[in-house]
Each structure stands twice: as structure tokens, then as C-alpha cells.
Structure 1
């Protein structure tokens, strides 16, 4: 190993000094990790801060102190994960996302429900915001807490959930059960009630520099010429006047989201050091994955939309590398809901490839799946997924059908034009379709944050309601129920089969329709996203083992998907899923080439049978076809293009090469399990 550069050597001295209480062999392990990741720290900081060398030494001191405070059980976990750094890329990892209080009341309650999670094959639990918010500090605070994202204290858990010790205990229980814990970390802003903002309002000049504060509207107005509004309905603009700032003279503070969420000034190195301390403290509680909320917004630049600036990726690189030294089992997940062509940068491109976040949401894939179901066509999805920059091999996508947030129709205008659509018109169509306003729509969603100036209208609603189950039950139609459950199964099969970490949103495993009384809960009436954030219905969950019920059919289907996925090494996330043209625009085909075996996935996004030329599938390298989801060997039928595969409505097929020991006989094909449809392959029309 090369000797470290002088700046890294000085930082190494600070690291050793702060970790001097550790046994010497542990210190040497820490030093080895600094040799590995210290250069990434310096490289990231040097691209942002003028005095990067001195800042690197200060970072190293904090890293050493955190390593010294790390408990033995977590050091053991570090050692295990250093031997298996691709743990989150493994096909046996399935995620579950929930609000702790709405799922189980408290953190201790979550621990009591670990068995339920394991039934679903869950190995990754994301608990939505659980750190103390502004309403925990001041229950009378007007405007709420943005669903937990207005954090007032990073080192306290919300009182109604429990304590910091409860969080550490839960992490230990989850680890024992083979489940990794994910927690939100809001990087872009803090609540107006946070001690930093309180100090700034009291006249503390040092803390005022933690924020973007302006004496008048001149500079804010210049920025706002290119800034999009996040919440145009109830929080228009990006700056808020506060009369207490600037020694009581009043000033304007940057507030991208809500007036009570003050954007941090990451150009100030003190902010970086403070937030690094927060990261390391959460890591030492046993958190395995930090979801970097609103990470795209942390760097501001005049004349841009202030999202995804190069400094964002440099800062995250430095934070990740520093965390790898102190707590190498911890990984970062970027919450960046950005245009498809900007997404891969959050995992690292160019010289930052594989050095930024480890996970990132594939928002575009989610949008394209819903778009395909609305149109019955997959050509736009295929276009959107074609030609995107490859992700670094050591990273993974987080794929999902629904989440706690609304759906914004991130359809690229160029992609839409390539398949003969207007991007603006298609986005408008999707909003109308999924709000149930479009004639013939099966969906029952709600419009969220309609912006008349841009025509943007996002959608709230549970997966089941958007997939047609609510309408089917309204119509008392068993056939429509089957179709709705077929859509749900297809959606989840696609995200389970894409590679990466599939995230199952709480309640979707039971086809929960959402909370009809969402607006009656205090503080929720102005935000209809609460319709798809229901409290867990444990009475409904009691039906999960009854195949005659909707919850039983959905739960069984998802358990089955998790089990099949876990047995397919070809779904390791190092390999990308790429679109394959199979000559039928109603079928989304994805190809995965892996040394363990090639997979071709076929998703019929229409309500009609579709035919796919078998030669298109075999050309990918498959000859003796085996469908892994339902466990059968598909037959071919003569057709206009030669031998053809007949794919049932809303079928999800994962095609691989049939092993010699597998019987050739065809079993039930198509919408099996979740839709309850036992469509025989010989029933081809």
C-alpha cells in the first residue's frame, strides 16, 4: 500500500488520537480502513471546501471518536459485512416500509411484530421518520411536521414511539432475526424549532451561517426565477420571512419545502461536521441503512433548479467514506426523485462511480409501470429504460410500487416523443386516469398538489386503490377483483424481479385500500397523502392465511415471490435489467444476463392475452424454457411469426433455462397465487 499523502497522514494522527482508548489491534483495523477510504474523504471535501486538508483532519477526529464508542456487537457486524459487502444486493433481501406508530404503535411494538415481517421474507425494514420533530418540541406549532420530516432534534426519538435506547434495542432484535434497519436522515433542512434555528433567530451569528439568510428579497427573487415549487398549494415559493433573524431586523431564509423547514447551508463546513456527527451517532445505535432524505437539494447554485449539483455528490462521497471507516456495515440510500437521466449520479458516475450512495430509488421504473397499466402498452417503459447510464456494479436500485409519498409523473418529454406521445399530454392523462376522472379508468386516487401554471398534478392513493380493487369492490364484480389483483401481482413481480432491493409498502401485502378517514386526523386535512398512510389493520392481517380472502391471496402471492426470488442468483443486483424488444408493445420484456443463468422476464401489461414470438426469447440465450414464478415449462403455439408464447392477461413470467431435473409438464400459468386465476396453458384462445 502506498504511503498516505501528507494531508491524509495528518488526518491519520487525529484519527489515532481520538481512538486511543481502543485496543491496539482494533486501532490498526481502523487505520487500515482509513487507508482504504480516507482518500475518498479528502477527494470529496477538496471539491467543495477551500480548506479541505484541515477539514479532513477534523473529520478524522470525529470518525475515531465514533469508532471508539461503537459497541462490540456492532463491531462484529462490521466484520461480517466487510466479508460480504454485497449483502444488500442479494436476491434474498426484500424490504418493508412502515411508519412505526402506524404499524405497531411504538418501537417496542415493532419488535413484537418481527415474526410477521419474517413471514413475508423481509430482511430489510425501513421505519419512516422517527426522530423528534417540531411538534414534539412544541405541540402547538402550526403547520404540522411534514409527516415527520421537520426534525427538531436528531438525537431524540419521537416520544410517542419510545426512546433512543428502544431504537438501539430494536436494532439488536432485528439483527438477531436477520433484518437490517433503515432510518430516515433529513439532510437538506431542519425544523424552525431546531436548536440551530432557535440560535439563529436569537442573534447567534455562528448559527445564522448554518442557513441561507438574506436581508431582503433581491437575491431570493433571483434564485426563484429557476426554482420549481415543491408544494405550490400550501407552501408556495422557496423563501420565508422571519422577523427574528439578523438581530431582530428580520430576514429571508431558504425554505424549499415548508416555511418551518429551514434549508441548511452545506457550503459551511461546520454544517458538514455537525451532520457527520449525526450520521455516526445513528450508526452507533445500530442503524444499517441511512435514507438520505431530500439529498438532491443540499447545494444551491444561482440560475439552476438547485437539485443534484456536483457538490451534492462530492459531499455524499465524503460522508459515506467517513462512515465506512467508523462503521463499515452502514450503507447510504439516496432519496432523489429526479429525472431518469440524472438518477445514476446519486450512485456515482465518472470518477465518483461506486463512491457516492450504495442504494437509490428507481422512481422512473415505478412511474413507467403505472403508466403501462393505464395504457396497456409497454413501449414507453421500454424507451425510458433504454440507453440509461449503467449503475456501478457494487450498488443497487431500490424498487417499489408505492411509498409514503405521492406519485409525480416523471415522464421524459423526449422518451414520450420517441413513441409518438406528447409528454405534457401523457402526464395529464395519467393524472386524470389515476384520479378516476378519465372515462373507463379502474383507479381511485386523489389529485395532490395540482399546479395550474405547469399542469403538474401528482397522485395519492394506495396501490390496491390505484390498481382497481376499490372500483371492483364498488361494482361487486369478482372478475374485476381478479383483474385488480392481477395488476397488483404484476407490479410487485416486476419490482421483485428487477434486481436490487424491492420495497413493500406497509398494508400493500394485504391490499389495504387506504384510510377513508384520513382528513379527520388532526393536522392531516390539508395533505391527502395520508390516505395511503393508514394504520395497520391487524384484524385484516388475520385473514392473511385464508386463500379465500383478498388479503390471503395477496399475502400468499408476495410470500411466494420472495421465496422464488431468494432462489435465483441471477437476481443479484450487480447485474442490470435491460429492456428487450419481443415484438409486442403490450408486453414489457426485461433481460438479465448473469453468470448463474440468463433470465427473460415478460410482463403482460394488458387485460388481453398476448402472443410473443418464442424466437425473440430464445435469441437471448434460452432454449428449454422454464417459468420460475409459477413453475412450469411454457408451450409454444404456431403463429404468424412462427412459434409463439401465449401470455395471459397481467401475467408475470420469469423465464430461465429448464434444469434437467425439472419435469417438462405444464402447470398453472399466468396470474397464479395473488389473482387466484388458474389459467391453463392449454386454454390458449
Structure 2
């Protein structure tokens, strides 16, 4: 197949020479049958790229299917502001709010249809989850595996329960192996990294690889622009190792990148690896061969720490490290998602005692902490379960307006950093902790997964005094301003300015424009001095006001984007 040399090399690196050639022979017909997209790819990303993260049913209406409700809201409120919508797993599922997939090829009928997905794609770029590490125990694939049907015999990873797996990195405090009975009556123990219902797929099997390549290309055929590679770090298993970040996992990312380069060069890989920063950025590879984007997992907890402690010193030091060598790479910047605020990415950045302080704040603000099991049997904090809005609450007898201002200040920093911003729908709408949901599901992560009635949302947005309104409209204004600034292009240069301990300052520069972003992370007014003496007249893009002095007074939690 013309242009497939990189794919062949990837497969040899994963499976060895002989098995790699066999794997290529098996997937080649799949690739050849795919209707290749235009070879001329567009720019991967620009300052105009803003992603909304949402479940297909985060917004609900009694009269319409959830996806149709989402389309209506997005077209009415978000069009020409947001460029991309990430619909969290919209496939039939059995648990984990969509991440235990029953059928990779189908849309959950409770949400809508593929036609709805395509309709949304007529107005926005689309981002899908490629849940490639595991599949539901209720899936037809796993049922066929248990029945011993041809092509499914090696779907799961069977392990002798006496095998020493003590070195395996555990993201959860749940058993690593789960016992199932085959149709033949044989009992087997299979690898289940995340839960007993989520069966890890055996990528050592070429049958599995074939199936998942078909899934990937099915998503491309249905209009995906960004592929989120869920839990990719855990993909490859070898007893006696940590089973995280193994060479084959990286090679698998390279394989999918090579397939996109050949068949859909405008589609991007985004790796989801909630791990310490240095491990996370390795998924950029050499800058050209792995992911175009990685989640900036350190940002959410470190930003929270910055506002809790009212000091920018650690954030500023870390932000200076965000330099990337390749213009094909950037960070996927976010503060909230459907999951909690991961704390593992703070390892090596904050001492354990400081992380404990965050845990205390989250508890005071109505949240919880989830723990993972370590190789020595102990447990350590894994994520903080709270809406980011309520994580930014400060009980000083202040008003909702003050709370909204503090939250929006945190978002101004996220929006100014180099990368593509991604905003969770509950952050955009100013959602508070869904404590009733936690009680109802008995799952801590439900706290920021509330299903909202769209009519209630519209009503709240029409009320200028509502908290949702106080968050949504200033946030949308900020995003609208950002997307028109060349200096916020992901590849625009940046410089962290150490001008005040309580003010995060960032200089962004493109050929056409230079901006300085200033954010007061404290509850007190701060005075700073800008040394941009060559430009006596400066304009704050947020307020539209001119600034004629070098000395600037920032109110509590005020943020400015100054064009110089």
C-alpha cells in the first residue's frame, strides 16, 4: 500500500518482525477500503480553537432527545465562539458513565443517532473518545470471547491468579484481576484495570488490533477531528513490569498517528494520561510521531493551589517549562472535566503536605477525595471530586458575584497559557456540587456530572442576578475576545514575568501582536509595575480601557489582557 511504510515500521516495533508483517497484512485491507480524505491537511490548531467538553445528555429536555437538545443549545449559545465539541462517550454502555462500552460502533439510542452526531458536526468540529484499553463485560465481543468463538479467543488478557503482579501501577483501589466463567465451564481470571465490568483488551492479539483499527476509522468516517485516547498509558501489559507507559503503548500511539497521516491527515491524536508532568509530555514523542496534543493535567490542581495559597511562585516556575520543540504539538489546557481534579500530576511539584491542604479545602467546600492503591498495598490520593466552580469558593461571607469573579480569574490564566483551551460544560454554566447525585449513585465523581434541564438553564441565564448568569456571560465574553488574538495562537511565544508574588503575569507574542496577561490571585488589591516603556499607551482587551501608566492597580481577582 503506497505511503504505508511508517505503519509497517510501527507494527514491527510493536510485534516484532514476523508478527509485525502478519499484522500489516491483516490491517492493510481495512486501510485500503477506507475512503481516504483529502491529502492536504489544514493547520492543526490556532487561537480560534476552543473546545467544549460535555456528555451527550448533560442538557435535557422533556420534548427532545438529549443530542438534539445539545445541538439546539450549542447552535443558539456557542456558535462562532467554540470551535469544537467533545461529546464524552455516547456509545451504549454498562457502567462508568459511558467508559464501559458495549458497542463501539453504535450511538446510545437514549441519546440519539449518528445523524445527530453528524448534524452537530455540520456546525462544530467533533472530538470523540477512543476507549481502547477496555470493553464492557456486557459487550457482544466479550460474550463471544466467553463462548470461545473464532476471532475472539484471545480478546481478553488471561492471567494465572498466582502471578506476581505487585509491580503493576494501579489507578484504582480495586482488584486487578476478575474471575469469569467461559461457556465451556472453565474459570478464567482476566485483567481489569479499572473495574470488574471493564475488561482490558489484549493488544498482543492481531484480532484485537484489527477490530480497534476498524473502530478508529469508523469514527473518522463519522466526522471526528480530535481522537481522545482514553487510558492509553495502561494499554500494554507485561507481568513483572509497571504496565504503564510501556514502549508498546507509545508505539501504538505512533501507529494511530501514522494511520491518520495516511488516510486523514487533519485528524489529531490527544492522549489522556493522568500522570506526573514529565511522564505526560513523553507522549509528544519526537514532536512529529505521537500525539499532537496532551492533556495539561498539572494545570487544574496547581491553579487551585495558586488561589488557595495566594502565591504564583510555583505556578510561574512550572509554566516556564511549557516550551515545546515542535510546532505540531501543543497542550490541551483545561481546569475541569467529567472526572475529578487529579493530584498525581503534582508529584515532584508540590510536597505531600501541600496536597493535603488541597484535600482539606475541597472537603470544606463540599467535595471528596478518591484514592488509588499503591504497589506496597498503601493508598494515596488520586483525585479531588468537586466542581471546579466550588473548588474556587472561599467562605469569607462574600457574595456570589465575588465567587464568580474568583472562578473567572482562574479561567483567565487557563485561557492565556500556550495551548488549546477546553472548557467543561459545568464550568461554563457555573454549576455547583451535585451532592444529591453523589448520594444517589454512591460515586464521588457524580458531583460534577449533573444532568441539567435546558429550560431551567435558559431561565437562569435570563436572570442577571443568577450565579449561572454571573459566570456564563463574562466567561463567553472572555472566550470571544481570546479567539480573535493572534498572540494566543498555541504556537505564539510566551514569557512568564516574575513581577509580583500574587499576580500571575504572562507575555504572549506573535508577529502581529503582543499581549500581557495579568491575574491577581489574591483577595486583596495589588499594585504592579509594567516595564513596557516603548509603548506608553496600552489597552486592556477585557474592559476595553486604555492604560497610560506603568503602575497598575489590580482589584481582588481582577484579570487584564493588555495589548502593548
TM-score (norm 1): 0.76
Mapped partners of 2:541, 2:132: distance in 1: 41
1:348 aligns with 2:296: no
Alignment match, 1:669? none
Mapped partners of 1:635, 1:454: distance in 2: 55
Mapped partners of 1:391, 1:370: distance in 2: 28
- Structure 1 residue 314 displacement after superposition: 1.4
Indicate if the aligned counterparts of 1:244 and 1:250 stay in contact, CA closer than 8 A.
yes
1:585 aligns with 2:501: yes
1:341 aligns to what SS in structure 2? helix
2:119 to 160, 165, 173: 173
Indicate if the aligned counterparts of 1:63 and 1:325 stay in contact, CA closer than 8 A.
no
In the TM superposition, 1:32-431 aligns within 5 A as 34=3, 38-50=4-16, 51=18, 52-67=20-35, 75=37, 78=38, 82-86=40-44, 89-104=45-60, 105-118=65-78, 121-134=81-94, 145-162=95-112, 166-167=113-114, 169-177=115-123, 179-204=124-149, 206-214=151-159, 216-219=160-163, 222-223=164-165, 225-232=166-173, 236-244=174-182, 247-349=184-286, 353-387=287-321, 390=324, 392-410=326-344, 412-416=346-350, 423-431=351-359
- Structure 1 residue 119 displacement after superposition: 5.3
In the TM superposition, 1:419-458 aligns within 5 A as 423-436=351-364, 443-449=365-371, 453-456=378-381, 458=383
Indicate if the aligned counterparts of 2:412 and 2:559 stay in contact, CA closer than 8 A.
yes
- Structure 1 residue 432 displacement after superposition: 0.9
Alignment match, 1:633? 546
Alignment match, 1:528? 444
Task: Name the structure with the higher helix share.
Answer: 1
Mapped partners of 1:54, 1:207: distance in 2: 18
1:547 aligns with 2:464: yes
Indicate if the aligned counterparts of 2:169 and 2:243 stay in contact, CA closer than 8 A.
no
2:349 aligns to what SS in structure 1? helix
Any unmatched runs of 5+ in structure 2? none
- Structure 1 residue 403 displacement after superposition: 0.8
Indicate if the aligned counterparts of 1:507 and 1:536 stay in contact, CA closer than 8 A.
no
Mapped partners of 1:307, 1:54: distance in 2: 26
- Structure 1 residue 506 displacement after superposition: 1.5
Alignment match, 2:515? 599
Write the deviation string for residues 57-94 of structure 1: whole angstroms up to 9, x where unpaired: 433321121217xxxxxx5xx47xx35233xx222222
In the TM superposition, 1:642-661 aligns within 5 A as 644-657=551-564
Write the deviation string for residues 26-79 of structure 1: whole angstroms up to 9, x where unpaired: xxxxxxxx3xxx3332232221122333433433321121217xxxxxx5xx47
1:565 aligns with 2:482: yes
Indicate if the aligned counterparts of 2:366 and 2:433 stay in contact, CA closer than 8 A.
no
Mapped partners of 1:613, 1:368: distance in 2: 25
1:125 aligns to what SS in structure 2? strand
Mapped partners of 2:133, 2:307: distance in 1: 34
Write the deviation string for residues 187-218 of structure 1: whole angstroms up to 9, x where unpaired: 1111112233223322347524222212x323
2:15 aligns to what SS in structure 1? coil
- Structure 1 residue 318 displacement after superposition: 1.2
- Structure 1 residue 319 displacement after superposition: 1.4
Mapped partners of 1:601, 1:117: distance in 2: 26
- Structure 1 residue 447 displacement after superposition: 2.6
- Structure 1 residue 180 displacement after superposition: 0.8
Write the deviation string for residues 235-281 of structure 1: whole angstroms up to 9, x where unpaired: x2311122338x53322211110011111122223222211100101
1:514 to 427, 433, 436: 433
Number of matched pairs = 554
2:97 aligns to what SS in structure 1? helix
- Structure 1 residue 557 displacement after superposition: 0.7
1:589 aligns to what SS in structure 2? strand
Q: Which has the larger radius of gyration?
A: 1
TM-score (norm 2): 0.91
- Structure 1 residue 374 displacement after superposition: 1.1
